[in-house]
Structure 1
């Protein structure tokens, strides 16, 4: 068994995409590959076949390996639900909530479970490709670390460090990392990659030489800007901070960005549509004139509903509805559209009940076991496939007009009497082309995009082909085969 860990000089340097690309490249070589991320922090999660939840990026990486996702691929997941407080998910199941200070004190106790998951994956693989989190240069977080060097050293997994040249200062980022981490951590790093390069790689030859000379690490390649990466499912909320490209002449679909927005990758399939301009509306901006408004999921529905009102977006949504235009709510967005949301156990804050937007005649009560299940069914005369991941139950008169019917015969979701407002708990509802076409037909648009999964699969092959050309993958494999396998 071989293993290699991709760490980065910072967040959003492209670690997730590099790991996905390496997984597909090695799978294309006939190897049994598994992805692994010891600790992740994301509100974009996916449901696994074994009934748990993991970070969306690890589910995509499993797809790159052509295997089913499992909870062992991301044994520790933190889901932020407020300032300095997160839900803790261990091996796919909720283990409570914790504050930042408690996490720093208690994370080392999870290392044993992380290593156990790693062992299980490694037992069934020729190579495990591991993704770090943040940066090993965050030395203030080193004590008790399980996400980067703490895991790498405990598991005996060699590291390749990736730097992002697009943000500038990549030489300083790599050399600076070498300067601030301790010698034993630095010894784990066997090579480096330059990521997101635009232009002629030959122009950075002297930069590669400088980094190698100052660190003693081997340069393994210069990865060009990977345009296909934009077709992979979103995980990190950093992508929401970037301005979207203009779309003159296209139909506008708008989604407000709440602070705890979750599973916003549900909207990614709309980006495939050449006739759609997907506008993610940041705080401080009104919801623009749109053909369709989508309310995405939320890690904390009641606080996000309060934020939505404080921004005045409730007024925009109600005005949109009065103009006879449709609204779709997904998961937490579905809950917001109802008459009320009750939190009798104080899951999201003080116990109580708040009024919803009142566009659906339903009520939601938060509590009970978390629903984690893959689903298939039919809605609007077309098939869909996705998953449910939510707390709470929703009931009321409008559930008599369900959005769809699941394969087991149960109904799902709710539709308003005027047919303009719909809510569903199904994440990935818009992924299949036929289902997406049925929704877009309601706003007068003929869909032309492919099934989202097929497009993601094609993007993974394109990324892998680029890595085969620009990265010394034989050297990466040699490094991986030096991993200690007796953890």
Structure 2
């Protein structure tokens, strides 16, 4: 099990890299995160929902996505409440206090998945959540040491040196664990190091002498690594400039599946910028409204930030506008939440750029899709997935944005060809769809970018980095005496 001293310490990345490293050596690997709290998610082939990080780790391991990889997924709807997803399906929306009482039920689901994975795979690589040293969350913990103790799982502790205070993070975390939990920690990994390693060595020697735990390796800072983010927008992804098409998107407070926009961020001819609260809106050729877990609340936020007037001005001057999932719902005339699924029950006026209205229903649609994106210049292949509770109706749907291979139509394209909306996540993932959208927005003859191929290459780069910077023998010993020799043989 990989646990971290903080959120974003590198847990997801380390598990993904280990999964690719072991898989390349012929080992059948399963990723596992007992409990994940994230608004970026993915759809499994059987129609379940799991955290995006576990989907990435499954890709790294070369195995099909499965709900057992992330049996408990929490999707925050407010600061004190979240949608609770067990084995891929929504079971309830609970406050933080109510979920605390629900944890024994969630733990039973976790251990059911754990039993199936350990029986079906050569190796299971477990990712913790946040920090194991959160004192107020120790009771009934199912995400970190609470799970590790029940499952009798050895732990590697990872810390991010780029943030500073790495020795305090590691020693302090260890000190706040119980004696049995301290014994469970088999070694440390220091992540995102840049500089002269010789200047760090005295600190590593001190750390090992102080804790009695080995440093398994120091991983370098990997610039330009393109891997799906687990949840919130990292500071490094908030801004990226280039010469070419200007694209902006609002960083909603409850933004979900913002990885949809990664191909735009990645493209070298796209000047892409997230626009956060209080920031002025720069001129743009294309505005993208991403997904949201609380559409009406994020629409209120959008208006408060001045986006409604800015979008009107943008369209008046010939700009293009795309809405994905929740962003698509905002483009209609009304949003109805009679059941209070995303907050207080009620109706909100939409932006009114598409003649449709949306009502939220308790049943969530979860499916993978393939088809064609319907642009004014012609249809181009697309693939993606649907995760939504909205049902949209209206005349705008008579001109769909997407035609799925199963015969269904989705979304809408405005009569003037300036506004496009769809429920399909992954709308820009295929090179053809990305090029088509960029051409529609004004960038013709764009460089071909294949986000999936880039992800695969960076997973290999990550695995190569681990192989070069982790001590194989010390890593193998973390798996315990019964498995150390075999693990060492696999990685040799």
Shift of 1:166: 0.3
Map of 1:196 onto structure 2: 192
User: Which residue of 344, 348, 354 corresponds with 1:354?
Assistant: 348
1:335-414 equivalences in 2 (<5 Å): 335-379=329-373, 380=375, 381-414=379-412
The alpha-carbon deviation at position 205 of structure 1 amounts to: 1.1
> Match for residue 426 of structure 1?
424
Match of 1:120 among 101, 111, 116: 116
1:221 Cα offset (Å): 0.4
Residue 135, structure 1, aligned to residue 134, structure 2 = no
Report 1 or 2 for greater relative contact order, CA contacts < 8 Å, sequence distance ≥ 6.
1
- Which residue of 2 is the match for residue 451 of structure 1? 450
Secondary structure of 2:120's partner? coil
- Say which SS state the counterpart of residue 191 (structure 2) adopts: strand
Instruction: Give the superposition deviation at 1:240.
Output: 5.1
Q: Is the 8 A contact 1:436 1:447 kept in 2?
A: no
Output one character per residue of 1:304-338: Cα deviation in whole Å (capped at 9) or x when no partner: 11111111111111111111111000000000000
* Partner SS state of residue 43, structure 1: coil
Instruction: Give the number of aligned pairs.
Output: 478
Structure 2: 5+ residue runs without aligned partners? 484-492
Question: Structure 2 CA distance, aligned partners of 1:216 and 1:86?
Answer: 40
Matched, 1:267 2:298: no
Counterpart-to-counterpart distance in 1, 2:256 and 2:97? 23
Deviations 1:166-207 (A, max 9, x none): 001101111111212111111110000010000232321111
Equivalent residue for 1:86? 82
Q: Contact 2:341 / 2:362 at 8 angstroms: preserved in 1?
A: no
CA RMSD of superposed structures (Å)? 1.5
Deviation of 1:243 after TM superposition, in Å, equals: 4.5
Q: 2:28 aligns with which of 25, 32, 48?
A: 32
Following superposition, the deviation at residue 449 of structure 1 comes to 4.0
Contact residue 77 and residue 343 of structure 2 kept, 8 A: no
Inter-partner Cα distance in structure 2 for 1:483 and 1:95 = 39
2:275 aligned with 1:281: yes
Distance in 2 (CA, whole Å) between partners of 1:237 and 1:162 is 20
CA distance in 2, matches of 1:322, 1:473: 60
Q: 1:474 deviation in Å?
A: 4.2
List, as ranges, runs of 4+ consecutive aligned residues in structure 1 with deviation greater than 6 Å: none
Residue 234 of structure 2: which of 219, 225, 239 is its match?
239
In 2, Cα distance between equivalents of 1:322 and 1:389: 32
Give the distance between the partners of 1:293 and 1:473, measured in 2 at CA.
47
1:304 to 295, 298, 302: 298
Q: Does the residue aligned with 2:234 lie in a helix, a strand or coil? A: helix
Residues 242/414 of structure 1: CA separation in 2 closer, same or farther (3 Å cut): closer
SS in 2 for 1:97: strand
For residue 429 of structure 1, give the secondary structure of its aligned residue in structure 2.
coil
Distance of 2:214 and 2:395 partners within structure 1: 64
Q: Match for 1:107 among 82, 95, 103?
A: 103
* Conserved 8 A contact 2:133-2:177: yes
Measured in 1, the distance between the counterparts of 2:133 and 2:320 equals: 48
Contact 1:157–1:483 (CA under 8 A) maintained in structure 2: no
CA distance in 1, matches of 2:177, 2:56: 31
- What residue is the counterpart of 1:461 in the other structure? 460
Deviation at 1:461, TM superposition (A): 0.3
- Shift of the 387–293 alpha-carbon distance from structure 1 to 2, 3 Å rule, reads same
- Equivalent-residue separation in structure 2 for 1:464 and 1:201 (angstroms): 20
Closer/same/farther in 2, CA of residues 469 and 479 from structure 1, 3 Å limit: same
Q: Which residue of 1 aligns with 2:435?
A: 437
Instruction: Report the CA distance between 1:136 and its aligned residue.
Output: 1.1
Q: Give the match for residue 217 of structure 1.
A: 213
Q: Which of 144, 150, 153 is the aligned partner of 1:154?
A: 150
Judge conservation of contact 1:33–1:65 (CA < 8 Å) in 2.
Answer: yes
- CA-to-aligned-CA distance 1:54-94 (integer Å, 9 cap, x gap): 00000000000001110000011110111211111111000
Note if contact 1:85-1:97 (Cα within 8 Å) is conserved in structure 2.
yes
Answer whether contact 2:245 2:442 (CA < 8 A) is retained: no
Q: Secondary structure at the match of 1:254?
A: strand
- SS of equivalent to 2:264: helix
Taking the aligned partners of 1:140 and 1:415, their CA distance within structure 2 comes to 49
Decide whether the 8 Å contact of 1:260 with 1:304 is kept in 2. Answer: yes
Partners of 2:61 and 2:18 in 1: CA distance: 9
Distance in 1 between residues matched to 2:15 and 2:50, nearest whole Å: 16
Could you say which residue in structure 2 is the equivalent of 1:21?
17
Unaligned runs of 5+ in 1: none
